[in-house]
Structure 1
């Protein structure tokens, strides 16, 4: 009991003493003010009425924990800001702004850096405008924080600053130029940082070389390919978020020699603007378990790398998720390592790539155990971007998996080098649009249109709803279950750990919208000026001139020769292929046709020397999802030309002649039935036994499309007419009135609304007691 009482007494004393110390620190903390116009270095600096004037004065001071240095807004200083001292836990030293107007401006004017800390900790640098430009280029930085032989330094926060016009050189080096750099220099004491926050800064324009980076000389380990003395000592608790990096000479944002860094909610707009070396937008190097998420990277200007994102070598377990990459010269993502290094267990999931160039996925070197799943990729018509490019860097990819991804390819280049990969798992992916050389096999591949709400319409990271799936999409619920799948999609929708997910970056139940046309002829007017995705056999090319419309046409330079394209179709569906062609010699025909659709090859023959339309109608087989369309000149030496090819669904009416002997799928109101007599053709007809009564059917149609409904009807009494009409199509109800006692054709023309995909057709007798009959209804586009 006595020992317990004594321990309690000593604890009370210690807590009391700690309280005194904390109180002393708090009461010792001071605010200091700096005003370049009204200040004086002879002032005490402790109020807005007696501010200091120069950076020299600030740099001469050693500040204490809890102190704040306030620089006046609207003022400017030339030179380097390097205040001394360190804060403590709970009492950092802060540099901030006061007053009104523009942020306080520091121009380093050719110094190594404009703002500098050396072997200092517990600092926060906020709300400054920083430049470093004296008209000549050299190694130069905006904000530069250095640890040399200081062990672990804590709590470096750089928040809300505007760093631009840093006229550094573009040498690619850990000790190179940049906007914001936190660096550890090797010495006698193994050193690193803990608690780095780089938040809400604007870096750029005109910053050379790197926008934001954290790096260290303590990088040597086998994972990075280093064979020297191993000294890897990563910085921890690193957060880089909410920054806007624009117009940088080289790389955008790069954490190096870190463990568990998080890089999120950043935008990199314009990287490698002036460097001739390999660069990427956001990436990590020699850094384990990095999470790169909710970022946007675009306008990368190089194909020497040049991707929006990168899982580089010297890493284990990097996750790249919920990012938006677009319009980068080098593509979406690089996954790489040289032989002798390590890149293991990377994950790329729930990202969106739009209009990236050169290659979407660049896989180079013997990386291992990478998973790429539930990403959505869009390439526009005329694109020659390679969906995947596998290359060697001391070996090829050893093991990688692609699951549940959507490639919506209105245009694309070849899939390159996949056969060189070791273990290449490719399953449950959707590849819609063009199908180019090297496309990998997939036992559960879908080639049907995934029904993206608006592919190609993304404008920024939070405005990409065009990559959600429409209700009824074949990609909904047809993916492969992936363990440890992150639990949510790009938009925050739950991804189940037990139920089959969607394909692509969206895992919701679907959004309302107009389903896309089930079939598209890509580059049907050849207005890209190039042949792709059409193929060439023997003589085909695209020429400027000889066009029916626009500026370009397909040319078959003599014969035989042809150009073909594989298009996506729905099974058991009737289509009409239309196009225009001409030949320079009427004795040498040119054909527009279709094959490989589940039926007999069919084509239209054109012998005219002026553009003439050719059409063919075909119905796909029960299991066919593609067809090959072509323009073909079978023989002769004369030239032929083709232009303006298109394909459309031929609308159909089920049981249009009632020859099933039953009413279905027509529905009856009051008096409708099928009779085995009074047919116009065949054996059966629709009977309306007196009136009023009707039969209706809902049919699928395309939005904003003009159709003609035709059919035959008769009535037993001329004064009791019968109607053939259409309603619920997006316009006013229209119908034809037939009062003849013998079969007479009636027809109506209508145009569907911009969001209408169905219409209700009907045969209706509004009144009377005599019978009426109808037969042989058709609808044409």
Structure 2
């Protein structure tokens, strides 16, 4: 077995450094809180010499790029329109009034296509910007280097806050979304704080989302939350460059990060001599990967080919409540190949790590030793752990793991989420009377959720639960397909911070097998929901329940929980 060739500490930060856009600060400043419209479609009446109003929109991005923006400004692109040019944006908003790039009208997202620029949307030292509702298609004779890039450069690249990217579809680029730069913040400073990404779909990129500076400073990017990502088939198509496809999600130069309710699949789709993985972690601290699916890292003959890779220089990084499956080799790789960069305080707990090509967790290399815990996981394989090239688990506490699971599938609630009751053994139910009676919910095509009726509480979606008030309970109910002994794992965590919290419990028929556990309003890390060695008969039900807590208050009660059941 071949161990990963040591990556340079900032492989992705340096590999494309020369391609980072060299932006200038020229251009007229103007008054704040103006909305500009851009629509190049036939019949729009567009003119670049006009005001950019809805009645007389701009045609191209030339007038967009000529301005410096201020608090409350909006740049709106017409739905159904497409441009072969890049947007180069400057200026800053405020926390109360960010600058926004988004869409208007009806129809498909506005599309930014490969033109003369190396980027689709480029922001220079941005504070309080939001980029939403766009498609960026990087295909061309020389595809886009970046779909969306935020660059923090020079002395002015220090101390920025507030960056939001949401509802974007970015594909066929070298890097889909990139946040980085060469600014040099002191240890008590940062380049950008408060990054939010939600609803990003990345497909056929080299890397779909990448963070990092040029020196691996853990404090460079702070307080980042990534949710509802769908990163798949990152293979650099068409015609990938050498070394282009190391992973789908690169987390570098970061402190305090949450990745939740996301799917990373079929990453690493081209040969990379230093190795491939789904999620890459290096030079990071205080990271929680909670309730995600990381699956099917591809077979390209590269080293690693794991689901999640701890490269090195990590501290207090946890993988919890996730499904790690179908990867060519390990679910989790703990690298010990950097003498000056061990992985410290690793946590791998409450996951389902099954059906990978090698044992669930590997320790690779003997230049440094990883310390931490591997506990409470549900696993399948010949053994739970694997050592390669002198790797060791001597400093890792391994306890409470259930396995190996038997032949066949495990039932992971988020992966199995369906539009019909009873599919994949799951039903979606609620009780208005504290569990005395249970009723099926109705699937809502409009938002892809289960509810009593459109817009009503309680609600169940792929990852999330929200109870109704009073004695109302909401539940996913699993029905045993055969006799046997099962183990249950999962991690319940708050998806919406605030409020007085919720309670979670598990019932086998009418019997509690996990008594109600309180989950406080600010607990995004969450609590484990484990049950060991539970005998079941065919037709028995396991009901996974969320209620609004003793006070019955439902404010901010949206909860992430993807329980998993497997036969031992």
1:463-542 equivalences under 5 Å are: 463=417, 506-507=530-531, 513-514=537-538
**Is the aligned partner of 1:268 residue 2:264?**
yes
Alpha-carbon distance, 1:156 to partner: 0.8
Contact 1:262 1:292 in 2 (8 A): yes
Q: What SS does structure 2 have at the residue aligned with 1:260? A: strand
Inter-CA distance 76–285: structure 2 relative to 1 (3 Å threshold) = same
Contact 2:484 2:537 in 1 (8 A): no
- Root-mean-square deviation (CA, aligned residues, Å) is 3.5
Residue deviations 1:319-372 (CA, integer Å, cap 9, x gap): 100101111112211122323322111111111123111332111244333211
Residue deviations 1:292-335 (CA, integer Å, cap 9, x gap): 01111112114622222233311111110010111111221112
Match of 2:22 in 1: none
Inter-CA distance 288–462: structure 2 relative to 1 (3 Å threshold) = farther
Contact 2:378 2:402 in 1 (8 A): yes
Which of 67, 79, 95 pairs up with 1:73? Answer: 79
Inter-CA distance 318–370: structure 2 relative to 1 (3 Å threshold) = same
Q: Distance in 2 between matches of 1:93 and 1:210?
A: 27
Match of 2:220 in 1: 234
Inter-CA distance 147–472: structure 2 relative to 1 (3 Å threshold) = same
Q: Distance in 1 between matches of 2:129 and 2:413?
A: 37
Alpha-carbon distance, 1:60 to partner: 0.8
Alpha-carbon distance, 1:455 to partner: 3.8
Contact 2:380 2:405 in 1 (8 A): yes
**TM-score, normalised relative to structure 1:** 0.47
Gaps of 5+ in 2: 1-30, 236-244, 418-423, 427-476, 489-501, 508-513, 519-527, 541-568
Using CA pairs under 8 Å that are at least 6 residues apart, name the structure with larger relative contact order, 1 or 2: 2
Match of 1:543 in 2: none
Which of 364, 378, 381 pairs up with 2:380? Answer: 378
**Is the aligned partner of 1:368 residue 2:370?**
yes
Q: Distance in 1 between matches of 2:110 and 2:267?
A: 27
Inter-CA distance 474–268: structure 2 relative to 1 (3 Å threshold) = closer
Alpha-carbon distance, 1:234 to partner: 3.2
Match of 1:153 in 2: 160
Q: Distance in 2 between matches of 1:119 and 1:163?
A: 22
Inter-CA distance 163–306: structure 2 relative to 1 (3 Å threshold) = same
Which of 389, 403, 406 pairs up with 2:399? Answer: 403
Contact 2:280 2:311 in 1 (8 A): yes
Q: Distance in 1 between matches of 2:332 and 2:479?
A: 23
Match of 2:249 in 1: 253
1:299-310 equivalences under 5 Å are: 299-302=296-299, 304-310=303-309
Q: What SS does structure 2 have at the residue aligned with 1:284? A: strand
Alpha-carbon distance, 1:110 to partner: 5.8
Contact 1:110 1:133 in 2 (8 A): no
Q: What SS does structure 2 have at the residue aligned with 1:70? A: strand
Q: What SS does structure 1 have at the residue aligned with 2:286? A: coil
Contact 2:314 2:341 in 1 (8 A): no
Residue deviations 1:131-163 (CA, integer Å, cap 9, x gap): 1222236x7111111001221211110110110
Q: Distance in 1 between matches of 2:159 and 2:295?
A: 35
Match of 1:281 in 2: 278
Alpha-carbon distance, 1:185 to partner: 1.3
Match of 2:118 in 1: 112
Residue deviations 1:717-743 (CA, integer Å, cap 9, x gap): xxxxxxxxxxxxxxxxxxxxxxxxxxx
Alpha-carbon distance, 1:391 to partner: 2.1
Inter-CA distance 159–301: structure 2 relative to 1 (3 Å threshold) = same
Match of 1:40 in 2: 47
1:401-440 equivalences under 5 Å are: 401-408=397-404, 410=406
Inter-CA distance 511–79: structure 2 relative to 1 (3 Å threshold) = farther
Alpha-carbon distance, 1:125 to partner: 0.2
Which of 408, 415, 429 pairs up with 1:461? Answer: 415
Larger radius of gyration: 1
Contact 1:490 1:506 in 2 (8 A): no
Alpha-carbon distance, 1:194 to partner: 0.2
Bigger proportion of residues as strand? 2
Contact 1:284 1:311 in 2 (8 A): yes
Contact 2:91 2:126 in 1 (8 A): yes
Contact 1:280 1:307 in 2 (8 A): yes
Inter-CA distance 104–49: structure 2 relative to 1 (3 Å threshold) = same
Alpha-carbon distance, 1:191 to partner: 4.8
Q: What SS does structure 2 have at the residue aligned with 1:41? A: coil
Gaps of 5+ in 1: 1-26, 169-177, 220-230, 380-384, 412-453, 478-486, 498-503, 517-781
Match of 2:451 in 1: none
Match of 2:89 in 1: 83
Alpha-carbon distance, 1:83 to partner: 2.4
Q: Distance in 2 between matches of 1:455 and 1:326?
A: 11
1:645-684 equivalences under 5 Å are: none
Contact 1:322 1:489 in 2 (8 A): no
1:518-597 equivalences under 5 Å are: none
* Aligned residue-pair number: 404
Inter-CA distance 346–202: structure 2 relative to 1 (3 Å threshold) = same
Q: What SS does structure 2 have at the residue aligned with 1:330? A: coil
**TM-score, normalised relative to structure 2:** 0.64
Q: Distance in 1 between matches of 2:114 and 2:105?
A: 23
Match of 1:131 in 2: 137
Q: Distance in 1 between matches of 2:411 and 2:485?
A: 21
Alpha-carbon distance, 1:186 to partner: 4.1
